[in-house]
Chain A
């Protein structure tokens, strides 16, 4: 993806008060360490050269970890620059609950998976739905106005951080 798209993504995230780190695979452990609030739970990232092995992130997720972890680390299959949206592709590893239960969500996305807009995600989604799969567009942090003022962190995370991994060419 063009650097313009990633830049747009970053500025959308900024507007949502969501932090963003750009790193190459080698820098990933440090980038993760900097934003991790332990204890942490995660699922495999499926990104070449990037792994949770050797980080404090515990895998596989258990119910206790869902309840007690401060941070959940998951991949995002795609991201949408226009709105700062993460496309969380639900799968059997538990990407969906891990991105949802802990108060902080750290999402890891490959640079080339940052798409310009919702329309550009249509093919990705179409293929997933056709295969019986599910995805979530997650934008910013969980919030509510139902108690008479805006409060962040309701049933979903109160903090979100995105790590964009620039892969080697």
Chain B
């Protein structure tokens, strides 16, 4: 398929999902997300337990082969069986054999993503076994014959009306179902009968304890308990990564999983079974005999699934995926996911930000190709993840690998010279253009205003849309003829002499501040100088954010090297580095750790400050807020940038605006929806605007000033609201 057609197909699919499933997904995921914030905020041990959980997982995956053997001994000592399956087919063969041995006619299941991954239901049904999903969400999907749209709430894309319509159609009740109570009661009774009849109960496992053979299941409905304990034979299917060393290691996970998954302190049932369990067998065919009096015996099979996981363990970057406890927080905290759900943002089995890691690990990178770009790298999931997985990094790595695997684009010659990147041929033209924004910006400034006229001309926009998928409904950035660096030189450098200055700072001329939003750079200079800072603005390479977000990691590495070489000597000389663009300070603080060798990133990270953070520090250390503009009585709607918030930097802007007297209202959406190049892309334009809608709804006072720190957010807000948007530093600059 041509790139253009492929983009139109994607846009069409997203549009369809926004219409059909978007509202239900939005409603459910945002509730999970809000509850997660609430419950983790009041839980003092949250950060300490995340560290602990992370350390346990790192250790367990490191020692996996050894732990599997220990687990095998434990399970066998308890009287159960452990089978290590190489792949899905191997696991299914074992399970169907167990079912055949038990002469099973019916098997009941509790929710398990790993069993979805291996398609065990199909394998069993092919052998004539009736399989019933007993988790109500999974049951709905089974009846509807649909794939899960979320790790934790597999059917959360369905409303009550959807389910009622489905059940009325399939089960034809005398009185049509209407309420959630009626539907629940029906499903419970229907499945209750199947559970009583079942010959085998199958569960997954959230955690498996190596030294005792105990498996832990976390549910709210109680179906996993019933499925495990009612039939005599219990089969648990789990990925090998679920093993933790001992019972002591369970506590952090039990505390964390419900909080990050559904925002509950703890789920209704945390079932810790050491099977075969001591609970008496239950023979519903002998209703009046005491439990356990029949000749039934309990039998247990633990099927551990490799299916690519041992290879992931050897993969420096994908390995982290194995720490995932599948809580779904990375989906709930993801603005794109909140709007479109897992049927777009997900693969065969797994959904949300971490789906890229799972799908690529299990099915190869191609399995993540279709949805990987939905991760904008906004990083909002990073602080949500209970095991501290760098989810955007995994997405970036896989994007990079996918880039390398693609065939060169037929239009590559068109952009040669504009794309002096470090990438091999094959990177999609659209990605290449966005990834080389710095080159475009340099050329754009040199030839402005002509470049702006040409770029905004109708033929140029049509060409850009057709060839590079840049949506013509978006306004392109207008380049300034005089860059910030040139302006600063022309004015004769800093007006605060170096000797006697309070501080000395380099203002980093990020590519947007230098070429497009130069006014915010000039305002930053005025604010810093008002607070007695000697400022320098050396020319410097772009941070690498643009290529990084397109998965052009080698190019981003080269940029990081350039920035480090350029700014390093200033840092060594005692300069602070002040950054206006939040996505760039995040680059210095977060991504450079991955892009620069050893701990080279540390000194730059340590000495870099987001502009408001720096101003805050100056004010705290005796700087005079009166030197800034007086904002008394002026209302400001302020939207902080996603990466800025992840870095814990939102509060500084709010405090500084407060200190200057402004009356600040903040947004609490995860992301504005623009996210760098994302909202410019033809295939994602509508999703981007849909995400933006949440932000628009939060700022209803058209008389308030509108401020945003990120370039993307400024662009998005400009499209959403009929108000001018400025960087907060422009509000603070003395006139």
Binding site for B on A (CB under 8 A): 60-64, 66-67, 82-83, 85, 90-97, 100-101, 118-119, 122, 125-126, 128-130, 132-151, 153-157
Residues in chain B near residue A144, CB distance under 8 A: 136-137, 184, 220-221
The reply on B558 being an interface residue by CB < 8 A is no
A119 touching B251, Cβ below 8 Å? yes
**Contact residues in A for B269 (Cβ distance below 8 Å):** 136-139, 142, 156
The residues of A that contact B9 with a CB separation of less than 8 Å are none
CA distance A96 to B270 in the complex (A): 13
Stretch at the interface among B222-230, B530-538, B601-609: B222-230
> Which of A67, A90, A92, A95 interacts with B292 by CB under 8 Å?
A92
Known contacts A136-B225, A144-B221, A154-B220; 17 additional CB pairs below 8 A are A62-B287, A62-B291, A92-B279, A95-B279, A118-B251, A118-B254, A122-B250, A126-B247, A130-B212, A132-B78, A139-B269, A143-B221, A146-B137, A148-B160, A148-B161, A151-B184, A156-B268
Chain B residues within an 8 Å CB radius of A129: 209, 212-214, 247, 272, 274
Are A134's CB and B274's CB within 8 A? yes
Let me know if B291 and A60 touch, CB within 8 A.
Answer: yes
Give the residue name and chain of the B residue nearest to A98 (CB). Answer: B291
Contacts of A66 in B (CB 8 A): 282, 291
A-B contact pairs, 13 of them (CB 8 A): A93-B280, A126-B248, A129-B214, A132-B278, A134-B272, A137-B272, A138-B269, A142-B221, A143-B221, A145-B153, A146-B140, A148-B163, A155-B223
On whether A94 and B247 interact (CB within 8 A), knowing A63-B286, A139-B267, A147-B136, the answer reads no
Q: Taking CB as reference atom, which chain A residue is nearest B254?
A: A118
Partner of B220, one of A91, A94, A142: A142
A94, B280: Cα distance in complex, Å: 6
Tell which of B187, B222, B282 touches A156, judged by Cβ atoms closer than 8 Å. B222
Q: Does the CB pair B268–A140 fall under 8 Å?
A: yes
B248 touches A136 (CB 8 A): no
**By the criterion CB–CB under 8 Å, are B248 and A97 in contact?**
no
- Smallest CB–CB gap between B90 and chain A, Å? 28
* CB contact between A151 and one of B181, B214, B287 (< 8 Å): that residue: B181
In the complex, chain B residues whose CB is within 8 Å of the CB of A62: 287-291
| B404 in the interface (beta carbon within 8 A) | no
Chain B contacts of A141 at CB under 8 A?
268
Judge if B423 is at the interface, Cβ distance under 8 Å. Answer: no
Is B163 a contact partner of A100 (Cβ separation < 8 A)?
Answer: no
Question: Does the CB pair B221–A156 fall under 8 Å?
Answer: yes
A90 and B277 contacting across the interface, CB-CB below 8 Å: yes
Looking at A91, A135, A146, A154, which has the most chain B CB atoms within 10 Å of its CB? A146
Contacts of A146 in B (CB 8 A): 135-137, 139-140, 153, 155, 163, 184, 221
6 closest A-B pairs (Cβ-Cβ)?
Answer: A148-B160, A156-B222, A129-B212, A149-B180, A146-B136, A64-B287
Encode B244-255 as 1/0 by CB contact (under 8 A) with A: 001110110011
Q: Please, which residue of chain B has its CB at the minimum distance from the CB of A121?
A: B251
With both beta carbons as reference points, the residue of chain B lying nearest to A90 in the complex is identified as: B279
- Closest residue of chain B to A136 (Cβ to Cβ) is B271
Q: Tell me the complex Cα distance, A93–B265, Å.
A: 30
- Chain A residue at minimum C-beta to C-beta distance from B209: A129
Which single residue of chain A is at the shortest CB-CB distance from B217?
A136
Is there an interface contact between B221 and A61, defined as CB atoms closer than 8 Å?
Answer: no
Cβ distance A53 to chain B, nearest Cβ, rounded Å = 17
Residue from A83, A93, A151 having most chain B Cβ neighbours under 10 A: A151
Residues from chain A with a CB closer than 8 A to the CB of B109 are none
Interface size class of B (residues with CB under 8 A): 35 or more
The A-contacting residues of B in range 376-426, CB under 8 angstroms, are: none
Once the chains are docked, how many angstroms separate the CA of A133 from the CA of B289?
A: 24
Does A154 contact B136, Cβ atoms closer than 8 Å?
A: yes
For the complex formed, measure the closest distance between the CB of A94 and the CB atoms of chain B, giving whole angstroms. 5
CA A154 to CA B268, docked complex, whole Å: 11
Instruction: Given A141-B268, A147-B184, answer yes or no on A122-B248 (Cβ-Cβ < 8 Å).
Output: yes
Partner-A contacts on B (CB < 8 A)? 28, 77-78, 134-137, 139-140, 153, 155, 158-163, 179-181, 183-184, 187-188, 191-192, 195-196, 209, 211-214, 220-223, 225-226, 229-230, 246-248, 250-251, 254-255, 265-275, 277-280, 282-284, 286-292
Instruction: Find out whether the CB atom of B270 lies under 8 angstroms from the CB atom of A136.
Output: yes
Set of chain A residues within 8 Å of B292, measured between Cβ atoms: 92, 94
Alpha-carbon separation in the docked complex, A107 to B213 (Å)? 27
A86 to chain B, nearest CB (A): 10
Residue of B nearest to A120 (CB): B251
Closest to A93 in B: B280
Instruction: Name the CB-closest residue of A to B187.
Output: A147
Distance in angstroms from B636 CB to nearest chain A CB is: 38
Shortest Cβ distance from A16 into chain B, in angstroms? 9
Which residues in A have their C-beta under 8 angstroms from that of B220? 142-144, 154
Does the CB pair B290–A154 fall under 8 Å?
Answer: no
Min CB distance A59 to B, Å, is 9
A133 is contacted by which of B188, B278, B287 (Cβ under 8 Å)? B278
Q: Which one of B221, B266, B268, B278 lies within 8 Å of A92 (CB-CB)?
A: B278
**Chain B residues whose C-beta falls within 8 Å of the C-beta of A145 in the assembled complex:** 28, 153
A137 adjacent to B266 (CB under 8 Å): yes
Residues of chain B lying within 8 A (CB to CB) of residue A94:
279-280, 291-292
Question: Bound complex: CA of A91 vs CA of B291, how far in Å?
Answer: 12
Residue of A nearest to B218 (CB): A137
| Alpha-carbon separation in the docked complex, A147 to B160 (Å) | 5
| A101–B188 CA distance with the chains assembled, in angstroms | 12
A81: min CB distance to chain B, Å: 12
User: A83 to chain B: which residues have CB within 8 Å?
Assistant: 265-266
Smallest beta-carbon distance B288→chain A, Å: 5
List, in ascending order, chain B residues with CB within 8 A of A85's CB. 266
The residue from A67, A126, A133, A142 contacting B222, defined by CB atoms under 8 A apart: A142
A119 to B44, CA, bound (A): 14
Tell me which residues across on chain B come within 8 A of A64, comparing CB atoms: 287-288
**A138–B226 CA distance with the chains assembled, in angstroms:** 13
Q: Is the CB of A63 within 8 A of B223?
A: no
| Min C-beta distance of A30 to chain B, whole Å | 28
Docked CA distance A125–B207 (Å):
14
Question: CA A130 – CA B179 in complex, angstroms?
Answer: 45
Q: In whole angstroms, how far apart are the Cα atoms of A64 and B280 in the complex?
A: 14
Cβ contact within 8 Å between A148 and B180: yes
B286 surroundings in chain A (CB, below 8 A): 63
B465 smallest CB distance to A (angstroms): 40
Q: State A66–B275 Cα separation when bound (angstroms).
A: 22
A96 near B279 with CB under 8 A, answer yes
* Chain A residue nearest to B154 in the complex (CB): A146
Query: Of B223, B254, B287, which one neighbours A154 at CB under 8 angstroms?
Result: B223
B275 proximity list for chain A (CB < 8 A): 134
* A157 closest partner in B (C-beta): B222
Neighbouring A residues of B291 by C-beta, 8 Å: 60-63, 66, 94, 97
B94 to chain A, nearest CB (A): 23
Instruction: Given A126-B247, A126-B248, answer yes or no on A134-B273 (Cβ-Cβ < 8 Å).
Output: yes
A155 touches B268 (CB 8 A): no
Whole-angstrom CA separation of A142 from B137 in the bound complex: 14
Contact B250 A125 (CB under 8 A): yes
CB atoms of B268 and A96 under 8 A apart:
no
CA distance A155 to B187 in the complex (A): 10
**Contact A96–B229 (Cβ < 8 Å):** yes
Known: A60-B290, A62-B289, A136-B269. A151 touches B254 (CB 8 A): no
